[in-house]
Structure 1
Amino acid sequence: MSRYQREPMGVGGGPAQGSAVLPFLGRQATAHKTAMVFSQDISEQSWERIGTGLRELVNSSAWWLADWLIFGEAAYSCRRYREAIDRTGLDYQTLRNYAWVARRFEHHRRRVDLSFAHHAEVARLSPPEQDYWLRKADQHKWSRNELRRALRASLAEQLDTSDAAGSTGERRQVSQLPEPAGADERQRQVATLTIELSTGQLDKYSKVAAAHGLPVEKWVTQILDSVDRRIA
């Protein structure tokens, strides 16, 4: 028997039985730092259970890394914090992306039956919309890609419905729309535009804008700019 086989390695790198570090392995597999060795007589059910455990571990690690980063930003000086990040050897931008998603979901709003990726798909939405879509994904057992498709289909439907909607009902105003930056002096001047919308239209446009991570005023500006470029 080789030294590699005699000394199974735990996640921390020292000799350890895999089941002590990862309880879901049981006696059917042993975790090494760079490998996992399976018993030759492992049942298909046990193999599937281990896969589920590993999936949950990977999902949890994204939340753990995100919360670790958020804590470090708050607890330590900028210099010490960046030094600590450098010492981990982890990709800084990936960690920042994790932290951005984590900040959008308080601990009690994170759904244990959905992946970190599910939460990332709806992170740009408002909290009530996040909860709505995560609840649907949980109920229908959607994958991350299925959630993405459902969300995009809903946004397309909202746009179509909004275009066809009448102008009856309570009216609100969308005002003070600045021209986009980077244009000439005339375009950089700020103008005020008042648009009358029904309550239903405003609600639908606000949801579409939120899905793009924008307030409704900036989203409307982008739409007008895109129309202007097409007809220019």
Structure 2
Amino acid sequence: MDTKAASGMLTAPTRHAGRTGMPAQQCTGILAIDPSASVERTRLRLPEDLPLKNWCRIGDQILAVSDSSSWWIGDWLVFGQQKYRDRYQQAMKETLLDYQTLRNYAWVARKFIPQRRRENLTFQHHMEVASLPEDQQDHWLDFAVRLKWSKNELRRQIKASTAPDEPPAGRTEISLSLRMEEARIKRWEEAAQRSSKSLTEWISAVLDSAA
């Protein structure tokens, strides 16, 4: 990995925009943000007369940078481990992210060389299949691209493919139909994601706890 290039992409918005208010497009290089926006370390500045289409485009660009940064961190860690073995662990301890998060980034980056990474899928999609054999990784990622699966849908499909046809002895399979506000469902999905569970698993755990 080109460490100078990676450093420039990661630090340019903070290093320049925080001091000068320079438009983001002049700071970020390859992954540019609409020039009507300017970035600081803890703030995004948008003009009051920003058109809706520009606002939508800026959102897409920010999400692209956010997802790309996971790959950048992973590649940065892999490079450091290979080149600076004696100082690698200390450098990890001095970052703002926790140790396990950094290990996850590096693990996924090692599992997927750049040529195998799908640009139209998120880093989290790749994390979902990273523990599978390489041919299975490609199989599921190809499906996710073709059918436009979310990360959660990809996880559900993988789990469903490995589930037994019949429920285990002593267990009964039931189906529930709930009418809920979309905002509430989204909160539940986010809570399930934080617990590394599917929505069904999370609901079951909450109900068990309440019982």
SS at match of 2:97: coil
1:77 aligns with: 85
Superposed displacement of residue 85, structure 1: 2.3
* Corresponding residue pairs, total: 151
Normalising by structure 2, report the TM-score.
0.66
CA distance in structure 1 between the aligned counterparts of 2:55 and 2:138, rounded to whole angstroms: 33
* 1:109-136 CA distance string (max 9 Å, x none): 1100000000001111111110010001
2:66 aligns with: 58
Q: Which has the larger radius of gyration?
A: 1
1:36 aligns with: 44
Superposed displacement of residue 53, structure 1: 0.7
CA distance in structure 1 between the aligned counterparts of 2:63 and 2:41, rounded to whole angstroms: 17
1:220 aligns with: none
1:45 to 34, 50, 53: 53
Matched, 1:17 2:23: yes
CA distance in structure 2 between the aligned counterparts of 1:27 and 1:100, rounded to whole angstroms: 35
Give the share of equivalent positions with the same residue, in percent.
43
RMSD between aligned residues? 2.1
1:94 aligns with: 101
Matched, 1:118 2:125: yes
Answer whether contact 1:18 1:32 (CA < 8 A) is retained: no
Superposed displacement of residue 40, structure 1: 1.0
SS at match of 2:13: coil
Answer whether contact 1:24 1:50 (CA < 8 A) is retained: no
1:127 aligns with: 134
Matched, 1:27 2:30: no
CA distance in structure 2 between the aligned counterparts of 1:145 and 1:77, rounded to whole angstroms: 36
CA distance in structure 2 between the aligned counterparts of 1:25 and 1:56, rounded to whole angstroms: 10
1:207 aligns with: none
Q: Which runs of 5+ in 2 are unaligned?
A: 1-11, 169-211
User: Which structure 1 residue ranges, 4+ long, deviate > 4 Å from structure 2?
Assistant: none
